[in-house]
Amino acid sequence: MQRLLSQRIAALREARSAAQRTRMCRVVTQRQGVQCVVNGRTLLNFCSNDYLGLSQHPQVIAALHAASSAGSTASHLVCGHSAEHAGLEAALATWQQAPRALLFGSGYLANLAVLQALLGKGDACVQDKLNHASLIDGARLSGCTLKRYPHNDAQAAARQLHVDAQAVAVLATDGVFSMDGDVAPLAELAAVAHAHDALLYVDDAHGAGVLGAHGRGSIAAAGLTVEDAPLRLITFGKALGGVGAAVVGTDELIEHLLQTARPGIYTTALPPMQAAATRAAVQVVQSAQGDALRAQLHANIAQFRRAAAQLGLPLMASDTAIQPLLMGADADALTLSAALEAAGYWASAIRPPTVPEGSARLRITLSAAHTTQQIDGLLDALARSYTPPTQIYFSSV
């Protein structure tokens, strides 16, 4: 191994180990609804993004099995674009009330693709400080100037959008923030983008399927349309229960992405079976069954927040399925997560660099698949194990 590289890897490994930041994957050997078997023990999962329980929905699984092929055999533009992909793109556009959708292998790739295709040197990307890492990385890949405004501060975004008349400007925000669970002020951001002739791009990974009429997401919930937010990201790995993503928007922008976005062009298309499964999930989400699942999810969120308030647990201000409990120090978050695990509940600790320094937390997530009793059980375990944090020196702005 190259000597300098070996030294660097060892130094980083030691620093991680000293800071107790070595991360590891847990092997799930069985999944049944929200029950997971890990190391031979059954845990109730309170940290997945399967907000509606669709990853195991019978219609979704049936569609997976009925698909033409396990693999797509090539990229979309070569010979990998099958009827399942075309059908899913059409279904997504209809659901999202937008002219067109374009598939990507993941939300991460889609964010790289969008920002790399729209922006270049001399252009500006103005982003919320708590945006997902893939939006930050996409702006970096594009070579544009990246500016980050304090969380959810639309007026600060407006000030940062004062850019050169020759510069393209994109205002990018998560719709629902992945580690905080709160919702972006999309109506204000749309007005700011419009006033500064900037394009508003909304990453709705955690809003799609969950918020708004027919689960259309945070843009619809804010009363906005494709006129206000000409591009949005829908990911399939959260409420839709699968994997992959689509960017949805105007014909002009989607055609530009199809022709130029390298993270879309130079990669194998999603498996047709995944596209078929996601199409089935999109059907469920828009149906009366989808309404019932969302009603159950929102009832579960309300039950959890009500009881947590009675217990004096300082949940972050979120009405979505993401209900973080801020702990501050890494050690406090790890200790609480371990105590919950000992009681049979899986709520993993989220630590820097995923969240800002000093803001380690339990990212508790709720699903329509949780029962009232399971949520009560988690609350009992929290009541027994929670002790107020030793230090919180984080501020979200």
Least distance (Å) between residue 365 CB and ligand PMP:
11
What does the alpha-carbon distance between residue 286 and residue 209 come to, in Å, rounded to a whole number? 8
* 354 carries a ligand binding annotation: yes
Q: Which stretch binds ligand PMP (CB under 6 A): 21-29, 139-147, 201-209, 295-303?
A: 201-209
Q: According to the annotation, is 178 in a ligand binding site?
A: yes
Cβ at position 48, least distance to ligand PMP in Å: 12
Q: Which of 53, 80, 107, 138 binds ligand PMP (CB under 6 A)?
A: 107
178 catalytic residue (yes or no): yes
Q: Would you give the DSSP letter of residue 227?
A: T
Residue with tokens 């999202």: 96
Q: Terminal CA-to-CA distance of the chain, rounded, Å?
A: 43
Q: Which of 45, 48, 96, 106 binds ligand PMP (CB under 6 A)?
A: 106
Question: Active-site residue among 55, 134, 178, 367?
Answer: 178
Q: Is the dihedral of CA 84, 90, 95, 99 positive or negative?
A: positive
Q: Per CB under 6 A, does 248 bind ligand PMP?
A: no
| Annotation marks residue 121 as catalytic | no
For CA atoms 354, 355, 357, 361, the dihedral sign is: negative
Q: Does 128 bind ligand PMP (CB under 6 A)?
A: no
Residue 134 vs 365, nearer CB to ligand PMP = 134
Dihedral sign of CA atoms 333, 336, 342, 345 in order: negative
Among 113, 229, 234, 245, interactor with ligand PMP by CB under 6 A? 245
Please identify, among the stretches 101-109, 114-122, 147-155, 357-365, the one whose residues bind ligand PMP according to the rule CB under 6 A: 101-109
Q: Which residue is nearest to ligand PMP (CB)?
A: 107
Q: Are 185 and 157 in contact (CB under 8 A)?
A: no
Q: In this chain, which of 44, 67, 103, 205 binds ligand PMP, going by CB under 6 A?
A: 205
Q: Is 228:200 a contact under the CB 8 Å cutoff?
A: yes
Residue 8: Cβ within 10 Å count: 11
Q: Which is nearer to ligand PMP, 127 or 178 (CB)?
A: 178
| Distance, CA of 177 to CA of 200 (rounded, Å) | 16
According to the annotation, is 298 in a ligand binding site?
no
Quick one: how far is CA 284 from the chain centroid?
A: 20
Residues 6+ apart with CB under 8 A from 216: 95, 96, 97, 208
Residue 302 to residue 390: CA distance in whole angstroms: 28
Residue 176 sits at φ, ψ, to 5 deg, of -120, 130
Q: Where are the extended beta strands (E) located within 89-166?
A: 100-104, 124-128, 145-149
Q: Which residues contact 212 (CB under 8 A, 6 or more apart)?
A: 218, 219, 220, 221
224: contact with ligand PMP by CB under 6 A: no
Which residue number, 53 or 107, has a Cβ lying nearer to ligand PMP?
Answer: 107
Least separation in angstroms between residue 377's CB and ligand PMP is: 27
Query: Considering 82, 206, 348, 359, which one is annotated as catalytic?
Result: 206
Among 76, 81, 100, 132, binds ligand PMP (CB under 6 A): 132
Nearer to ligand PMP, 278 or 296 (CB): 278
The per-residue DSSP string of 329-369 comes to: SHHHHHHHHHHHHHTTEE--EE-TTSS-TT-EEEEEE--TT
**Active-site annotation holds for 206:** yes
Give the chain's largest Cα–Cα span. 61
108 binds ligand PMP (CB under 6 A): yes
User: In the complex with ligand PMP, which residue's Cβ is closer, 123 or 203?
Assistant: 203
Q: Which one of 48, 82, 134, 296 is in contact with ligand PMP (CB under 6 A)?
A: 134
Question: Should residue 45 be labelled a site residue for ligand PMP when binding is judged by CB under 6 A?
Answer: no
Binds ligand PMP (CB under 6 A): choice among 127, 235, 365, 374: 235
Would you say 245 or 326 has its CB closer to ligand PMP?
245
Q: Which of 81, 85, 238, 370 is catalytic?
A: 238
Q: Give the Cα separation of 132 and 238 in Å (integer).
A: 14
244: amino acid identity, one letter: G
Q: Is 23 annotated as a binding residue?
A: yes
> 324 near 362, Cβ under 8 Å?
yes
As annotated, the binding site for pyridoxal 5'-phosphate includes 107-108, 178, 206, 235
Given the rule CB under 6 A, which residues bind ligand PMP? 106-108, 111, 132, 134, 174, 178, 203, 205-206, 235, 237, 245
Q: Residues with catalytic annotation? A: 178, 206, 238
Binding residues for substrate, as ranges, are 23, 132, 354
